[in-house]
């Protein structure tokens, strides 16, 4: 339900420590892979956000039992009992991925090989996002999978059955496509090899290896052998979500009186493009205590008030910051000079058209931003000014606009602020705490 706009006033300082919630991508994968592993697993710091809850609800409908214990603040522990691939059952209801592309695409790959019928739908945004990118290669593997509008859109109907391994060269660098095909490949006859134009996030690969899958890398390609036995369950602790931390990195760099400490954030190099971009812009960000948690690199981050300058981001580098472009655009709006972000056409098919939405909404706050077919150009201004703006139901837009409002002059009224809960349920509380720190 649409709530009244949230008022954001710039706080005098932004200071304190924020424990960002568990990583969204890793939480989805930990649930899905353990759901088909041979035995129980416990996942600490599972992200209890709308997207991951959609995955859990779909898994329950498929016969997987789990329980989620929610501690104080954002912490939660997921206990889940995998009964092997053969433990999944036909769902009596339509599976609802809600706003979550990861849920829909990964489950499509998994269910393509299960011997029953599944129907997966989603909310209005997800039903308009491209599904041909998973439907077509899954069909090539022998799957009986269909979608609306010439097999390009959800709802998807899947009659699971035997699959064969393929060689697939994806035209887009997409971890969701890659993961869908890996999940199908586990169940196929023969090897599956995958190539993508740039390395997308590799959480699925890391987790599959840790659970005993035979997955190797050859140059740019991944090679997966079908499972000989079910995956071994994997207990893990989910690192803090870099994509959540991203908003505090930008807020801390832009606010004139800020110091924000972010302990335990995932710094998988396939995800940290924004960190590199902000540092190149001149942000004062320190990375310390690098370690490994749950098979993923983790570190403590600290950001302080900084003076930023514009940069150019393009080419393969954009894959490492694709979800962070709305946050980066806010940083660019107040950086000295021009920031050019090219080769991000993928943003048009995210939870909203993020090129259009970012440009239009930031302009309402006084930014000088221009839309291009595959990117955006932003000329830094001296100050943003608070104004009414709208997340358009997109969680990353909501949080980016909140950061913009926090460093703008005057008050901002943000419609659709509640969308933040799709990936960061405690976002508003954390913002309030930092602002009164």
Q: Catalog residues that contact ligand S3P under the rule CB under 6 A.
A: 25, 28, 101-102, 174-176, 179, 200-201, 322-323
Min dist. Cβ of residue 358 to ligand S3P (A): 14
Provide, rounded to whole angstroms, the least separation between the CB of residue 78 and ligand S3P: 17
Q: Which tokens sit at 78?
A: 């997921």
- In the complex, minimum distance from the CB of residue 200 to ligand S3P, in angstroms, rounded to a whole number: 6
Return phi, psi of residue 415, to 5°: -80, 150
Let me know: does 331 contact 384? Beta carbons within 8 Å.
no
In angstroms, what is the minimal distance from the CB of 350 to ligand S3P? 6
- The answer to whether the beta carbons of residues 296 and 216 sit under 8 Å apart is no
Task: Indicate if 323 belongs to the active site.
Answer: yes
Q: Are strands 117-121 and 388-390 parallel, antiparallel or unpaired?
A: unpaired
Q: Distance between CA 13 and CA 27 in Å, rounded? A: 32
In the bound complex, what is the minimum distance in angstroms from residue 55's beta carbon to ligand S3P?
Answer: 10
C-beta closer to ligand S3P: residue 176 or 406: 176
Q: What is the closest distance, in whole angstroms, from the C-beta atom of residue 170 to ligand S3P in the complex? A: 10
Nearer to ligand S3P (CB atom), residue 135 or residue 258: 135
Q: Which of 384, 352, 379 has the alpha carbon at shortest distance from 368?
A: 379
| Residue (274 or 407) nearer to ligand S3P, CB | 274
**285, β-bridge pairs:** 303
Asked if 265 contacts 226 with a C-beta cutoff of 8 angstroms, the reply is no
Q: Are 173 and 197 spatial neighbours (Cβ–Cβ below 8 Å)?
A: yes
Q: Which of 202, 323, 390, 394 is catalytic?
A: 323
> What is the edge-to-edge ordering of all strands in the sheet holding 258-266?
14-17, 258-266, 296-304, 284-293
The two structure tokens encoding residue 323: 């979800």
Q: Which is closer to ligand S3P, CB of 243 or CB of 339? A: 243
Token digits for 124?
């209005």
Output 300 or 346, the one with its CB closest to ligand S3P: 346
Rounded Cα gap, residues 75 and 271, in angstroms:
22
Query: In terms of DSSP bridges, do strands 192-195 and 221-224 run parallel, antiparallel, or are they unpaired?
Result: antiparallel
> Within 13 A of 218's CA, how many CA atoms are on the CB side?
8
Residue placing its CB nearer to ligand S3P in the complex, 300 or 323: 323
By beta-carbon proximity to ligand S3P, the closer residue of 213 and 365 is 213
Our CB check for ligand S3P shows the closer of 253 and 319 to be 319
CB 349 → ligand S3P: shortest distance, Å? Answer: 8
Q: Report in angstroms how near the CB of residue 265 gets to ligand S3P at its nearest.
A: 16
The residues annotated with a catalytic role in the active site are: 323
């Amino acid at each position: 339900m649409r709530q009244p706009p949230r008022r954001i006033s710039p706080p005098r300082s932004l200071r304190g420590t924020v424990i960002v919630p568990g990583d969204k991508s890793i939480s989805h994968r930990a649930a899905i892979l353990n759901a088909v592993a041979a035995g129980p697993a416990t996942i600490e710091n599972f992200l209890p956000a709308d997207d991951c809850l959609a995955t859990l609800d779909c898994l329950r409908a498929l016969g997987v039992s789990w329980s989620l214990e929610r501690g104080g603040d954002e912490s939660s522990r997921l206990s889940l009992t995998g009964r092997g691939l053969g433990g999944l059952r036909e769902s009596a209801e339509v599976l609802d991925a809600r706003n979550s592309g990861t849920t829909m695409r990964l489950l499509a790959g998994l269910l393509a090989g299960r011997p029953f019928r599944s129907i997966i739908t989603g909310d209005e945004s997800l039903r308009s996002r491209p599904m041909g990118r998973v439907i077509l290669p899954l069909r090539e593997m022998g799957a009986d999978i269909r979608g609306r509008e010439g097999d390009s859109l959800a709802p998807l109907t899947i009659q699971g059955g035997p699959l064969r391994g393929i060689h697939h060269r994806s035209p887009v660098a997409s971890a969701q496509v890659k993961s869908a095909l890996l999940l199908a490949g586990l169940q196929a006859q023969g090897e599956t090899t995958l190539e993508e134009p740039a390395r997308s996030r590799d959480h699925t690969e890391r987790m599959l290896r840790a659970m005993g899958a035979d997955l190797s890398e050859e140059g740019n390609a991944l090679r997966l052998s079908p499972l000989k036995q079910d995956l071994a369950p994997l207990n893990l602790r989910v690192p803090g979500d870099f994509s959540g931390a991203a908003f505090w990195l930008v807020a801390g760099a832009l606010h004139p009186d800020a110091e924000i400490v972010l302990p335990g954030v995932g710094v998988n190099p396939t995800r940290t493009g924004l960190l590199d971009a902000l540092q190149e812009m001149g942000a004062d960000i320190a990375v310390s205590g690098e370690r490994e948690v749950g098979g993923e690199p983790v570190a403590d981050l600290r950001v302080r008030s900084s003076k930023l300058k514009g940069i150019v981001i393009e080419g393969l580098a954009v894959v490492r910051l694709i979800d962070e472009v709305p946050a980066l655009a806010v940083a660019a709006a107040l950086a000295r000079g021009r920031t050019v972000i090219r080769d991000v056409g993928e943003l048009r098919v995210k939870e909203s058209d993020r090129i259009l939405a970012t440009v239009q909404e930031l302009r309402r706050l006084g930014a000088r931003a221009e839309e291009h077919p595959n990117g955006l150009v932003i000329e830094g201004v001296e100050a943003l000014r608070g104004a009414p703006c709208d997340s358009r139901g997109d969680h990353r837009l909501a949080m980016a606009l909140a950061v913009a409002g926090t460093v703008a002059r005057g008050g901002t009224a943000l419609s659709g602020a509640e969308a933040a809960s799709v990936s960061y349920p405690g976002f508003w509380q954390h913002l309030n705490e930092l602002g009164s720190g």
